[in-house]
A = this chain, B = another copy of it.
Amino acid sequence: MPEFFNVLAPEEAFEVLRKHLSVRVESERVPTSKALGRVTAREIRSTEDLPPFPRSTMDGYSVRAADTFGATEGLPAYLELAGVVPMGAATEVSLGPGEAAVTFTGGMLADGADAVVMEEYTQHAGGVTVEVLRPVAPGENVLQVGEDVREGNDVLPAGHVIRPQDIGGLMALGITEIEVARRPVVAIVSTGDELVPPIETPGAGQVRDINTYTISALVEKHGGVPVPVALVEDDYEAQREAAVDALEQGDVLVFSAGSSISSRDLTASVIDSLGSPGVLVHGISLKPGKPTIVALIDGKPAFGLPGNPVSAMVVFNLLVRPTLYLLAGCENPPGPATLTARLARDVASVAGREDHVQVRLNGTENRRPTAEPVFGKSNLIYSLVRADGTIIVPLDKAGLYAGENVEVKLF
């Protein structure tokens, strides 16, 4: 593996960046109802018990459980109806021994009651007597005060990506605003003499810029704010000017470098010139994605992604994605979702290199989906469009065999 002698493994590359990066999470206050997908900036603690009163989980009767012990269909317990506990209001019924009160699902128990008998297990012919046909234990069909959450409990840790149920849980406690990490702003510079904006018709030898848009969408998907700064030719001064502008606007700088060796080297020297410590990693043992640059510029992470669209996306997911979450204080971001599939055909690799291979899921065999590799040069954006996910041939393997179980990282 002489080709990869001087480059780092993908995990090592990320670790180098992580070690150099000192994260200070900047937070902002947002309404909880608008916080889906945001990252908590600090842990959130409950300031009350939930539920705040003992609630019935059934329609039926509040009772003292002891009054029902031994009750059967043949020999019911006869209780005296003391009243009705209305929904949404304080109970005004206080149960004495041998008494019951009509109680609704979600409603409060009558004062003095410690259980609820389901309506199905009672008979009430009108009047003041209720026949209870089965015994209940103390606490049966009751949500106790604080059973969902206790006052003072940590309900969400810092660095947590908010899901729909988290919003519900916070609202239940009256936490209608929370501190979340400010979204990291990612400034994107695309480079290459051959590139034109997608709106233009390319002339001879020209192609449209793709990476600005793929990277922007990936940033958006992972909670960042993409700012496309410039599309610049392979010229040192032009690139440096765009990079300085990008660093002013962004918390992270992403360069989509040209594909030729000379334009990659140009990008590397531009990035290295921007600040300290500069380029940390130049080249990783990854296919596609070897010519990747990882840098730190006066505290801001900067990446030089390869110009090939497939490589750019692979490297984004491997390095930029976790960096965005890291900047928001999230060490263990959710996903990507994975799925176990049966590999449809052999995939060759080279030991000492991590290969990321696009796969398409094609039907199932023995209840396991089949992963069909989408072979294609890393210049082909449609090899990503036609794929459902990625499999990884690890550094220490020279390939994978048809029929093996593989973990597919879904897009």
- The chain B residue with its CB closest to the CB of A388 is B334
Q: Does A274 contact B (CB under 8 A)?
A: no
Q: Does A122 contact B (CB under 8 A)?
A: no
In the complex, the answer to whether B172 meets A207 with C-beta atoms within 8 Å is yes
A88-B195, A174-B198 known; A380 vs B205 contact (CB < 8 Å): no
Contacts of A335 in B (CB 8 A): 337, 410
Q: How far is the CA of A221 from the CA of B161 in the complex (A)?
A: 13
Q: Does A261 contact B (CB under 8 A)?
A: yes
In the complex, which residues 108-166 of chain A have their Cβ closer than 8 Å to any Cβ of chain B? 108, 119, 143, 147-149, 155-156, 163-166
Q: How far is the CA of A380 from the CA of B51 in the complex (A)?
A: 9
Q: How far is the CA of A203 from the CA of B53 in the complex (A)?
A: 10
In the complex, the answer to whether A209 meets B171 with C-beta atoms within 8 Å is yes
A8 to nearest B CB, angstroms? 22
A49 to nearest B CB, angstroms? 11
Q: Does A411 contact B (CB under 8 A)?
A: yes
A residues engaging B (CB < 8 A)?
A: 32-33, 36, 50-53, 55, 57, 59, 85-91, 104-108, 119, 143, 147-149, 155-156, 163-169, 171-176, 192-195, 198-211, 213-218, 220-221, 233-234, 258-263, 307, 309, 313, 334-340, 377, 379-385, 410-411
Q: How far is the CA of A223 from the CA of B268 in the complex (A)?
A: 40
In the complex, the answer to whether B107 meets A147 with C-beta atoms within 8 Å is no
Contacts of A88 in B (CB 8 A): 192-195, 205-206, 233
A317 to nearest B CB, angstroms? 10
- The chain B residue with its CB closest to the CB of A209 is B171
In the complex, the answer to whether A208 meets B90 with C-beta atoms within 8 Å is no
In the complex, the answer to whether A385 meets B106 with C-beta atoms within 8 Å is no
Kindly list the 5 A-B residue pairs having the minimum CB-CB distance in the complex, ordered from nearest: A337-B337, A90-B204, A164-B217, A168-B214, A165-B384
A172-B198, A259-B106 known; A385 vs B166 contact (CB < 8 Å): yes
Q: How far is the CA of A383 from the CA of B57 in the complex (A)?
A: 15
Contacts of A216 in B (CB 8 A): 33, 167
Identify A340's interface contact among B175, B176, B340, CB under 8 A: B340
- The chain B residue with its CB closest to the CB of A409 is B337
A148-B382, A208-B171, A213-B32 known; A163 vs B411 contact (CB < 8 Å): yes
Contacts of A192 in B (CB 8 A): 87-88, 106
Identify A210's interface contact among B90, B172, B193, CB under 8 A: B172
In the complex, the answer to whether A143 meets B379 with C-beta atoms within 8 Å is yes
What would 23 A/B residue contacts be, using CB atoms closer than 8 Å? A33-B217, A85-B205, A88-B195, A90-B203, A104-B259, A106-B260, A107-B194, A108-B205, A148-B379, A148-B382, A155-B385, A164-B214, A167-B213, A167-B217, A168-B213, A168-B217, A169-B382, A172-B198, A173-B208, A174-B198, A176-B199, A337-B337, A337-B339
Contacts of A258 in B (CB 8 A): 87, 105-106
Q: How far is the CA of A89 from the CA of B383 in the complex (A)?
A: 26
A166 to nearest B CB, angstroms? 6
- The chain B residue with its CB closest to the CB of A337 is B337
- The chain B residue with its CB closest to the CB of A160 is B385
In the complex, the answer to whether A107 meets B337 with C-beta atoms within 8 Å is no
A401 to nearest B CB, angstroms? 18
Q: How far is the CA of A309 from the CA of B50 in the complex (A)?
A: 13
Identify A106's interface contact among B36, B307, B382, CB under 8 A: B307
Given contacts A50-B382, A53-B204, A164-B215, 17 further A-B contacts (CB under 8 A): A33-B216, A36-B217, A57-B377, A86-B205, A88-B195, A89-B206, A91-B204, A104-B259, A104-B262, A106-B194, A165-B309, A165-B384, A168-B213, A174-B199, A335-B410, A336-B337, A337-B410
